[in-house]
Structure 1
């Protein structure tokens, strides 16, 4: 509504209509009133009753003043006639300043209630003021006579009381001071009892000031008795409710105020919900027992600041608008705004039964103090309805009884509210609400639809600093009562920010004492939780409140694997680190003991566990009512006693356990203990016990009869010297049908000979779709049997034989010749495998023959290794072997690091320029200088297939530049003895040319990088065109299967192949329904279907962990390596995704670095390190190089 319309409609003000005044003048003769004395008038002007008579320029007192001056002939001035004309012809208005009832004469209104107010004894001539309540207005008169003069309908009501009193029977004129106050009911903001100490029987009413003012007015009314006050309050509230049914709330707000409020909501909440319409309610800010806030010194009927409650998408905003008018620009309005998260509402107290306008709101953020806000509003019912709906929408999965605890509204029945569009159980909406309430950025998360149990929620590690306590708390609260997910994973996320912290909240949602299905914890359990830390309470709530969480993955949550925390495990205090694990484990054990949760899988891998917590776990596993399915306690710093007690207790879970992982702990268990526990296991599909025992017996570790019932998918026996009986039992199992599900077998440093490996390969059959790790085994012994099996095609299609040092070069040559004719192995890693000395010409020729003649291997790692104590390189002549790469037509991904290729880059350059199948080439760690690098990059110009190339890491480039500068300085030094004059100049010359030389070298490196980026981009475009043609021409089934096999091998191989596939995925290539089910970043596959034969080459869909690699990449792929893409399954899910593939691992899958590294020694977690020490989880190895140290 524009300003002119407001002015036109409000021009009559609040004046009495002249027709009403004429009615009184005609019906009664004029009565002369005695003029009050000067002293009395002065005293009355100082009283509160007199102050009420001053209205903001548009009250009926102006009209009554004119009525007093008129004669009985009803003559009036020109201004009176104009005002009468406007009042008669002005239409009904929707503004608070000119409501419909203000245009009506008093005589036409329906009187609801009337009576005298309490006499003000402070006046010299005290007279009781009179109050009249109609269906439109509340009017206060100076006396009852004045009220009856204005409302002739009151005569009939009072005639039976005193018929002899002429003032009760005859109407009189209305003087200037007779109408003290008039309040339009439609403008009333709130009416409530005045609970101040000085006025025990009073009322307080707030209403909108007349147009054009943008403010509130207030007044107090005092009665003789509290009962009389209560009757009046009930009558006023009833009349206000009748008016509210006809008056929309939005009509009372001006356009400029609404615009300013919308701006406040948008700036505070951001783009949480663009389609949400905020609800605006006028309210009064109160402080009961004291004077009203904002009006401590304000007298009745004076303009004061206005208050508004805005319920937005995620926040509740309280806005105070300082006195202004409707014409003020929105940006010029002086406002004070305070916002609270709706999900931080701890109490809302109100009463619907008593129609009380007042209500109380309490907010509390974690680790903060509670904020109480006392409000009052005539629209309290709408506020309750809107706020309960907002709370339900932000926490759609929370049970109804928790909402009733927060909303203590008397007389309100429990509402049945059904929310719509609860995708992912309302997670996205709830998480945004909590983050907005806690004022923290939303963390990164994703949904994993592949590994069972699924769907699984996974909180992704941050890209920079660790998540704050409030960010973690927002995730926990958003997941509470969410029955959509069946698995929760915090793998690799540092939770130490919450560990050891307490938040003693008396009210709110800090403690979950009732589950979604109505189960309630006992008083004893409740007392335990009250004394627990915040992390314990949240883990309890996560597992207890939901009906669907079956799996909890808390691997590496102690901060050891964080990028910002590069201390070794030995440099940390194990006791402090185990505290975080204790706060995870204790609530889980308590719920299992009381049978109050359905979670049956727990992973605490990579987190030190205290002895007491391990004892509690072992005691719990012995109980009959406990049934665990998956338990992962690898790399938990368990000692001999703790690990032994754990394995003894696992016998009690023989009927339920499906997955056991206790690998890579400090302790060693007796052979008989593990043998006895394993003999009773009924349904294992994952067994990782690397380094857990020593074979001091000739007996087999496995009972073959029991083992035939297992459907193993993953087996890790690394770090234990397997005896012949155990190898025989394994070979029998591999030949059985039950082993067709086996996807990953790790036998690293297990002392297997070549003959024993051949025995296992023959049992596997030909081209078995399985990933086998045989790093550090004794292949020299029985090399002929092994080579015969490999040459015939027996064994896996993915073989890792890293860090194998042959005692005789002839054995190494035999292996290479067997691999040359092998037609089953597609992914092969020989990183660190070498001859005793530098490779001879015969060995180099065998390597060249392998490159030129093998037509099966597509992923090859033949990197070397170099350290201070040992090296595993093939020597200077290895570069000549690359000549066979010119004619190779199968290798697509080649990694050849640390092989001294810088000594003869011509061989590498010729191989690159002639090869037509390579897609990625990784040759870091070869100490290329600027000339070498330029020569290799120039050869890529002649190659049209390589898409990703890495020759130097960032650190290598810096070292190369420093080395070049040093060499230039040495080369420029004078040969002959300098003269005396030249001795005085060298410093100036050096200082003048040092910096330009460095800059010049950097420019040359950057120019080469630009050329490389151009070549790679050209090759990528050609590959995209060929892929699109192949996808449209090929019937697809074979093409899709090949694509999935590439994904499988790329995740196992890691490095540039995985980066290349990630880039293709980002560009939308190779995008089919089957490949949508594959997550390149979370690296999870479904269990493959039963195969008709073990020699089938169909892809086994299985859970793999993705690879962590800090590969040196070209400028064109640098940005893509950190790109993110939404998970394609299901397509409608729109959630943040993981931005670094090196952090992705499926539920309960061991963290592994498989690109060229030998992460197999049970005393070494990751990397090719000859010095035996522990590396903390997640430390990537960028190259095979010697350790840094003195």
Structure 2
């Protein structure tokens, strides 16, 4: 052998004889121990054996690949080298190393109780076959390369026979190798074990896979495979390992197995995903993610056996599951520096949980599925699998407290686990307050706006409110539907004016039947044919079916205008010619309701489908359902559904079987019904409380529409006969009914466009008595005939306390004057609406004086609407003199809420502004759509500084204000362009200065408008603050909110009055105002005051005091930044009342809201952009004359 070859062999031997690092596998350790080390290397290893022994090691890499790179040492060493090795071996055999236990071990190895030990399967893949040895104690699991190595660490083990060991050679040689191998054992503390399960891979027969946490300072998971000779041996070891680990973890807290930095990192992740108030409610478990059975390469094992691999954790939060993978790191790493991969799943999206507690299998499978998505499957394993199962079942019950337990058992398929009785506490609202946020968090959407209505016949009623900015997404709507399933708290559900179209055209191809309900809360199942129908339906139809069928408590469902055919804010129908798509969507509402009621599978008896187009087929289905003798409806509302003659007639004829019907609304349909059919149906009703049949019939005979005997038995609360030309016989029947005691419950009577003259209305008013607590709507009736009789009744106080006489087109101005004079004498009307009621021509001096006298002398009207209207074909305004007539407000001490839109107040605003300055009873004023200019606006503001009672003054809508500002800028620039430049002037240098001058002028005009807005905001804030402080003081014993009928008037009048009432109600309900809210109010008021101050660059413009001059609109000024929100409404005429009052008092409860009153316009179409017809010169002259007259009067 050459010298170079000998040196190379010695070098290989010396490298292999180095002390194996903790990253070596037991196979590598055995191979390294079999080498012949040099004396110096062996001595160094002996000296460091104690320190190496104290640190538990892990298997690192496959032995086969390492073994190929090494050669067995030959016997060609020198004699001196052999002597050195023998001396070293003898010294090692005589002094076995002392072991130091790991921090996770409670005692030394020699004092541990050995529970089981035995040989593993012989590794036949190695060049030198060997059999490893496994020892299980009460504290750890140790794996050795040989029995001799195990006996070095555990001397209490009984020696085995040489034949059993299967080794040959001297005892000194065996002991030397055992000591070296014992130092490189695989030691797994039981407290560090994460999971133990059988390996299902194809090439791993009779193998167990063990995962454990790497000891500090490493932050990683390690794993090893234990191969046994037979399946019986494997199962015996598996059972014993499970029992031992279970006993060990019972005596130790779960939090102790989670490193602190990992726990902080997971809590930070949960806080960023959902609102967590108490972190102790979040449970974290160490887990292992199991892959699908497949052959694993050596590279996969190396990632988890050399230096460790990523660690996995399952966190269960209030609403979500978190599967978190922490990449390999150490315990000293800051929580924010840990690299984590996070998968989030909603707790309520758990569709399947597969596990078993009957045998010793720590593996469980969780399946999650979000609607319209694919299923995600997680197969995990953990020694804490029993705790995970218990926690998962508990959280599912908490988030779905009213769901039947058999549905929970369908989700949790746990073999060997008896069905637990899960009781929950504190299920307010049937658990909706926790179920709805849980579903929204699982679907990753915001919580919709909702409230509870306690003023319905079937109470409480859950009301989903329309979204203020955009329609709800499909997942938001599904979150509401799923949260309401099996809810036994609510008796009624309302989706009125909420667009459900996102669900109408969607299909959810789910693998399971979690999308529909096939069994009710008391396990009543639907028939197979209905199951097939619902299974093939769209999502909306499935959810309507599931909502009504699943809950045994729902008696009333409101689905009016759920496809956006009508504007929820104005109530006007959108200009859509083809309603066929809407009819197809409505079918998805009608079909599940009719199917369930016909099969007697629902207790719902009140159905509202108004403002949804109904096809002829759906009308037939409704007819068939209503005709069933066992279907007992109490409420049926199909208003504005576009029912044709045949469909409407069929429904009326089927009502013969619904004698117990109490609420019926079939108004505003396209078709007409024969007089005999309606009379026959009405005569069978016994306890009607609401009857709305507007435009359903034409009275062609002199007979009365009502049977007097049947009418006497009714307890009507609302009656609507609008659009029906009532004859004298019907009026007599109504008068007789109003004079009887049975009509005392009537609160609303609508006779709009009913062809009633003054005498007929007077008769009805006298039948009511004086000051009847009732809302009466008499819009668009010809009052000229019999106006004297009507005025006599009104002047004497007969009639309701809330009267609507809108859109009355008087043919003679004399009739209008008589009406106003009678109203001036009336002392019973509290709420009066004369919007659109006007004289045939512009109001004369006599008519204006009548208006002035009415405002000055009436002492009862507190809500007044004298708005005009201006459409393309007609107008209903009182003309230029009306603004002067508003001077009567100076002497008025009753009116609190005033609405004067579209009355040309810009022509002469002086009297109106002066009246506002001295009036002390007005609370809200809405004077939008009057084309007020900057000079008018400034003048009004200067007068409002003297008013301390007005809380809300709205002169513009947001769109109107933008239009007026643009117009003022355009009018200011137009004079400069009026003179047509010559051809030569176009080439002059001065022409380039014009754009700069225009930009400066625009800048100054915007600054003037901004200053005026901020000034008005400051005044209103100051008045509102003083009012709230007065209400909350001890001296304020009463408030307007407690005034009789205040809620009725505010709801009927709508607009600013409704928002003002709601704000007062909130403050009155909670008298004590938090100090922080008071400070916020002062800060807001002071800020608006300081910001409202005119900038130094803006000159004082007292010329703005002129009430009618427009010249001031072009004054110089500087721009004012938009720092303070202006008190101009975002929607027609209104500021957001909730936003306004939240600053001063406590706002509505979380997830509660209130419905606004009727819209300001109340169905009157106003043309806000119209200005006075005439050339600009005539208008300026008119305003100048008005200004001079105002100065003379002042």
Q: TM-score, normalised by structure 2?
A: 0.82
Deviation at 1:552, TM superposition (A): 1.0
CA contact (8 A) 1:294 1:304 kept: no
Deviation at 1:160, TM superposition (A): 13
Question: Whole-Å Cα distance in 2 between the matches of residues 544 and 977 of structure 1?
Answer: 79
Q: Which residue of 1 aligns with 2:116?
A: 113
Q: Which residue of 2 aligns with 1:1056?
A: 1056
Report SS of the residue matched to 1:708: helix
Q: Which residue of 1 aligns with 2:1139?
A: 1123
Q: Which residue of 2 aligns with 1:1148?
A: none
CA contact (8 A) 1:286 1:375 kept: yes
Report SS of the residue matched to 2:943: helix
**More deviation in 351-360 or 983-992?**
983-992
2:132 paired with 1:129: yes
Q: Which residue of 2 aligns with 1:992?
A: 996
2:1017 paired with 1:1013: yes
Deviation at 1:72, TM superposition (A): 7.2
CA contact (8 A) 1:347 1:507 kept: no
CA contact (8 A) 1:1126 1:1137 kept: no
Deviation at 1:685, TM superposition (A): 0.5
Q: Which residue of 1 aligns with 2:825?
A: 821
2:1050 paired with 1:1046: no
Q: Which residue of 2 aligns with 1:802?
A: 806
**Structure 1 residues 414, 374: CA separation in 2 closer, same or farther (over 3 Å shift)?**
same
Q: Which residue of 2 aligns with 1:538?
A: 543
**Structure 1 residues 296, 712: CA separation in 2 closer, same or farther (over 3 Å shift)?**
same
**More deviation in 354-363 or 223-232?**
223-232
Deviation at 1:957, TM superposition (A): 3.1
Q: Which residue of 2 aligns with 1:10?
A: none
Q: Which residue of 2 aligns with 1:494?
A: 499
Say how many residue pairs are matched: 1052
CA contact (8 A) 2:1129 2:1135 kept: no
Report SS of the residue matched to 2:744: helix
Report SS of the residue matched to 1:100: coil
Deviation at 1:672, TM superposition (A): 1.4
Question: Whole-Å Cα distance in 1 between the matches of residues 663 and 118 of structure 2?
Answer: 82
For 1:1151-1190, list aligned pairs within 5 A: 1153=1159, 1155=1160, 1157=1162, 1166-1168=1163-1165
Q: Which residue of 2 aligns with 1:715?
A: 719
2:646 paired with 1:646: no
Q: Which residue of 2 aligns with 1:288?
A: 292
Question: Whole-Å Cα distance in 1 between the matches of residues 175 and 980 of structure 2?
Answer: 128
Deviation at 1:157, TM superposition (A): 8.9
Q: Which residue of 2 aligns with 1:842?
A: 846
Question: Whole-Å Cα distance in 1 between the matches of residues 92 and 1066 of structure 2?
Answer: 92
For 1:785-1184, list aligned pairs within 5 A: 785-972=789-976, 980-981=984-985, 984=988, 987-1024=991-1028, 1027=1031, 1032=1035, 1034=1037, 1042-1065=1042-1065, 1067=1067, 1113=1129, 1120-1121=1136-1137, 1123=1139, 1134-1138=1149-1153, 1141-1142=1155-1156, 1153=1159, 1155=1160, 1157=1162, 1166-1168=1163-1165
**Structure 1 residues 452, 60: CA separation in 2 closer, same or farther (over 3 Å shift)?**
closer
Question: Whole-Å Cα distance in 1 between the matches of residues 717 and 569 of structure 2?
Answer: 35
Deviation at 1:433, TM superposition (A): 1.3
Q: Which ranges in structure 1 are unaligned for 5 or more consecutive residues?
A: 1-12, 16-32, 40-53, 88-96, 1074-1109, 1145-1151, 1158-1165, 1170-1180
Q: Which residue of 2 aligns with 1:314?
A: 319
Question: Whole-Å Cα distance in 2 between the matches of residues 296 and 564 of structure 1?
Answer: 63
**Structure 1 residues 406, 334: CA separation in 2 closer, same or farther (over 3 Å shift)?**
same
Report SS of the residue matched to 1:382: helix
Deviation at 1:752, TM superposition (A): 0.7
Question: Whole-Å Cα distance in 1 between the matches of residues 789 and 689 of structure 2?
Answer: 30
Report SS of the residue matched to 1:498: helix
Deviation at 1:289, TM superposition (A): 1.2
**Structure 1 residues 936, 209: CA separation in 2 closer, same or farther (over 3 Å shift)?**
closer
Question: Whole-Å Cα distance in 2 between the matches of residues 1054 and 945 of structure 1?
Answer: 20
Deviation at 1:414, TM superposition (A): 1.0
Report SS of the residue matched to 1:337: strand
CA RMSD of aligned residues (A): 3.8
CA displacement, residues 420-472 of structure 1 (integer Å, 9 cap, x when unaligned) = 22222221211111111111111111222232322211112112121111111
**More deviation in 469-478 or 1006-1015?**
1006-1015
Deviation at 1:1047, TM superposition (A): 2.9
CA contact (8 A) 1:865 1:873 kept: yes
Report SS of the residue matched to 1:348: strand
2:514 paired with 1:506: no
**Structure 1 residues 68, 60: CA separation in 2 closer, same or farther (over 3 Å shift)?**
farther
Deviation at 1:1017, TM superposition (A): 3.2
Question: Whole-Å Cα distance in 2 between the matches of residues 914 and 163 of structure 1?
Answer: 115
Report SS of the residue matched to 2:364: strand
Report SS of the residue matched to 2:1006: helix
Question: Whole-Å Cα distance in 2 between the matches of residues 705 and 201 of structure 1?
Answer: 90
**Structure 1 residues 980, 192: CA separation in 2 closer, same or farther (over 3 Å shift)?**
closer
Q: Which residue of 2 aligns with 1:603?
A: 608
**Structure 1 residues 336, 161: CA separation in 2 closer, same or farther (over 3 Å shift)?**
closer
Question: Whole-Å Cα distance in 1 between the matches of residues 839 and 1062 of structure 2?
Answer: 36
Deviation at 1:797, TM superposition (A): 0.5
CA contact (8 A) 2:838 2:876 kept: yes
Question: Whole-Å Cα distance in 1 between the matches of residues 934 and 380 of structure 2?
Answer: 74
**Structure 1 residues 806, 162: CA separation in 2 closer, same or farther (over 3 Å shift)?**
closer
Deviation at 1:311, TM superposition (A): 0.9
Select which of 336, 358, 365 maps to 1:353. Answer: 358
**Structure 1 residues 560, 158: CA separation in 2 closer, same or farther (over 3 Å shift)?**
farther
CA contact (8 A) 2:56 2:186 kept: no
Question: Whole-Å Cα distance in 2 between the matches of residues 181 and 888 of structure 1?
Answer: 97
CA contact (8 A) 2:958 2:1129 kept: no
For 1:93-112, list aligned pairs within 5 A: 98-101=103-106, 103-106=107-110, 108-112=111-115
